[in-house]
Amino acid sequence: MIILYALTLIGFLFYSYVLVDPNLTFINNPLWNQFRSIVIPIGYYQREFSWYIYLILVILLFIFHFNVLKHFNKLNPLKIAFVIGAILLFSYPFLSHDFFNYMFDAKILTFYHQNPYLQKALDFPNDPWLRFLQWTHRSYPYGPVFLGVSLIPSFLSFGKFLLGFIFFKTTVVVFYFLAAIFLNKMNKKWAIVFATHPLILVEGLINGHNDLFALVLGIMGIFYLYKNKNIFGRIFLILSAGIKYFTLPIIALTKNKKLLNYLVFILQIGIVVYYSIVSEVQSWYFLALFVFIPYYEAILSRFNIFFAGLLFSYYPYIRLGGWDTIEKVNLKHQIILVFFFLNIIWLVLRGFFKKKED
């Protein structure tokens, strides 16, 4: 099973490059150029085939996730997390350009010695990275904690794109592995849930969204709360909120006050829904809910149909070619809503039959 799981992850690793930006060149090497010549036509000119590959890979990730959970007592979460992280370390963030913006935002400070809160990518028109960047018109929108974290891989890369890419992806994998370590110290099953959940793998490890960093710091904070080390716990919870302010409610989490923790959980859901309504439904927003694995792992596991729908909502992007029309964006919303209602129907039927058995 683990071998098949690893092969699926390797498949995702190679597949992630089908939508590599044509303006982006990692290295000038014949092998790389030959690889690009094979995968790019799949992503840009054989979109139906590309969609079916993606669909199958996501379904396989969920199948293995459920299978691993059934046998979690016999498995080592840290070994699984290590294998997953090692395989997906070199994956390409094919569903979002945010990762490259993170890299350039840090480069503004470490390479150009300017303030990213005051400067934007367009202020450096001669930089070759602008060929594949998006959102070049905005200044730094995230919290200072994430900027501090991103400065380390940026400084080590000396302005070189390939080094920056590798070091940034390594930082993502290190944080992912830290979460698995801290969860494993609390509960083996929680670590397995985190380490193998498809939404975390795709939006966290592959696409590299900084919501993963907030999630990991939040988990570390909760670990210290569980160990009655409240000062350390609060520090890490505050650091989590300092990534992009999205997880601000978790600062109020406690070890034993169930009502307060539940209210925090509801408030966090409310913030995710609010941002989804006023801006756009982004599947990586929902990574914030996985901070609550130590409290509500059972509740989160009941919404895997919805989480699958979030990943399937990339259909317009993969199959139809981006988010350039309102029809494609609306189709994305329709897919998410369909899977949400399917999840609710499944929960109602599950409760009905369970009650009938009792």
Per-position DSSP letters for 201-227, written without gaps between them: IIIIIIT--THHHHHHHHHHHHHHHHT
Position 357 scores a pLDDT of: 64
In contact, 175 and 211? CB cutoff 8 Å: no
Position 350 scores a pLDDT of: 86
Position 351 scores a pLDDT of: 83
Return d(Cα 167, Cα 156) in angstroms, integer: 8
Over the stretch 133-173, which tens digit does the pLDDT of each residue have?
888 899 999 999 999 999 999 999 998 999 999 999 999 99
Residue 165: CA count within 13 A, CB half-sphere: 17
In 3D, which of 198, 89, 202, 201 has the Cα closest to residue 153? Answer: 89
* Sequence spans of domains, the chain: 2-357
Position 121 scores a pLDDT of: 93
Position 27 scores a pLDDT of: 82
Per-position DSSP letters for 94-112, written without gaps between them: TT-SHHHHHHHHHHHHHTS
Return d(Cα 52, Cα 340) in angstroms, integer: 22
Question: Helix, strand, coil shares of the chain as percentages rounded to 5?
Answer: 75, 0, 25
Position 24 scores a pLDDT of: 83
Per-residue pLDDT 10s for the chain (358 aa) are 778 899 999 999 999 999 998 888 788 888 888 898 899 999 999 999 999 999 999 999 999 999 999 988 889 999 999 999 999 999 999 998 899 999 999 999 999 999 999 999 999 999 999 988 888 899 999 999 999 999 999 999 998 999 999 999 999 999 999 999 999 999 999 999 999 999 999 999 999 999 999 999 999 999 999 999 999 999 999 999 999 888 899 999 999 899 999 999 999 999 999 988 888 899 999 999 999 999 999 999 999 999 999 999 999 999 998 898 999 999 999 999 999 999 999 999 988 777 766 5
In contact, 290 and 310? CB cutoff 8 Å: no
Mean of the per-residue pLDDT values for the chain?
Answer: 93
Position 358 scores a pLDDT of: 57
Relative orientation angle of helices 188-196 and 47-70, to the nearest 10 degrees: 170
Task: Give the N- to C-terminal CA distance of the chain in Å, as an integer.
Answer: 34
Position 310 scores a pLDDT of: 97
pTM of the model: 0.94
